[in-house]
Structure 1
Amino acid sequence: MGDRLTQLQDAVDQLAQQFVACIYFNSRHHDLDKLGTSDAIRELKPEEQRGDVEPIPPEEFKSGQLELARDLIYKEQQIEYLITTLPGIDNSEEDQEQYIKELEEELKVAEAQFQEASKEKDTILAKLDEIIQSIRRP
């Protein structure tokens, strides 16, 4: 589950970065047209111009917006998929508690097997040590 949560967090972080990229693209490459009849574009003196806006052709601007929108939709779908794969989405609290109990029982069995294997390992190592010691003594 931790891996899924990490993937989900990474995807959300990437989505936030994509939002910033969209805002940057739109603010940097828009044209300087008026939105309404009462709007006026202020003429900047050469020393005031910072070059913040670099208009691009309308077709290229729309194409860039479309590509960014597709990327956002794709990332959102990826996030939705990751959310649906998280455990417990369709389970009630009782189901989750039962599943946890089952996992605890499996853990107890695995720990008992580990303890048994560890004892067997110690026994075998002791026998091996005896054999090695007997070989050295001639």
Structure 2
Amino acid sequence: MGDRLTQLQDAADQLVHQFIACYYYIERRHELETFGPNDKIHDLKDNPKELDSLPPDVFQAGQLELARDLITKEQQIEYLISSLPGLDNSEHDQEQLIKDLEEELRVAEAQRLDAIKEKDEILVRLDQVLRSIRRN
């Protein structure tokens, strides 16, 4: 999993895709209605796949589901934004956190080097044992 900024960018990209999907759903699935006396509904016999209207209750249920998905994604974005360092974390706090992480890294590196040294010592001893077995 990426860092918080990458997660935020991914969530924003997903939100844009959801907006496009919502627009496409509404554009392609709505009922043909006129809103004024001068409005005309063009005959779709030439291109029948352009509009696939749904019954009003199914269309509204789809809109409701899409709206809930948008709200959920927006809440995820809000959470990611709130978890970013900002006003709650002063520059001094962030510097202290970095120093603490650097110290943890030094300790882990020392442990890694000790483990490598121990591995090399064990390999030397194993080699000596194997050589003594061959001589006998």
AA aligned opposite 1:78:
Q
Give the conservation status (yes or no) of the 8 Å contact 2:32–2:41. Answer: no
AA aligned opposite 2:13:
D
Give the conservation status (yes or no) of the 8 Å contact 1:29–1:56. Answer: yes
Look up the match of 2:72. Answer: 74
Give the conservation status (yes or no) of the 8 Å contact 1:12–1:79. Answer: yes
Instruction: Provide the C-alpha distance between the structure 2 equivalents of 1:70 and 1:43, rounded to a whole number of angstroms.
Output: 33
Unaligned runs of 5+ in 2: none
Q: Residue 94 of structure 1 is aligned with which of 92, 95, 98?
A: 92
Number of matched residues? Answer: 135
1:110 aligns with 2:108: yes
Moved over 6 A (4+): none
Note the alpha carbon deviations across 1:18-56, whole angstroms, 9 max, x for none: 11111011111122222234x321544844x45412222
- The sequence identity of aligned pairs, in percent, is 59
Equivalent position SS for 1:2: coil
1:28 aligns with 2:32: no
Look up the match of 1:40. Answer: 39
Instruction: Provide the C-alpha distance between the structure 2 equivalents of 1:6 and 1:122, rounded to a whole number of angstroms.
Output: 40
AA aligned opposite 2:27:
S
Q: TM-score, normalised by structure 1?
A: 0.80
Instruction: Provide the C-alpha distance between the structure 1 equivalents of 2:3 and 2:105, rounded to a whole number of angstroms.
Output: 20
Equivalent position SS for 1:34: coil
Cα distance, 1:104 vs structure 2: 0.9
Note the alpha carbon deviations across 1:94-117, whole angstroms, 9 max, x for none: 211111111111211221222122
What's the Cα RMSD here?
2.4
Higher mean Cα deviation, 1-10 or 64-73?
1-10
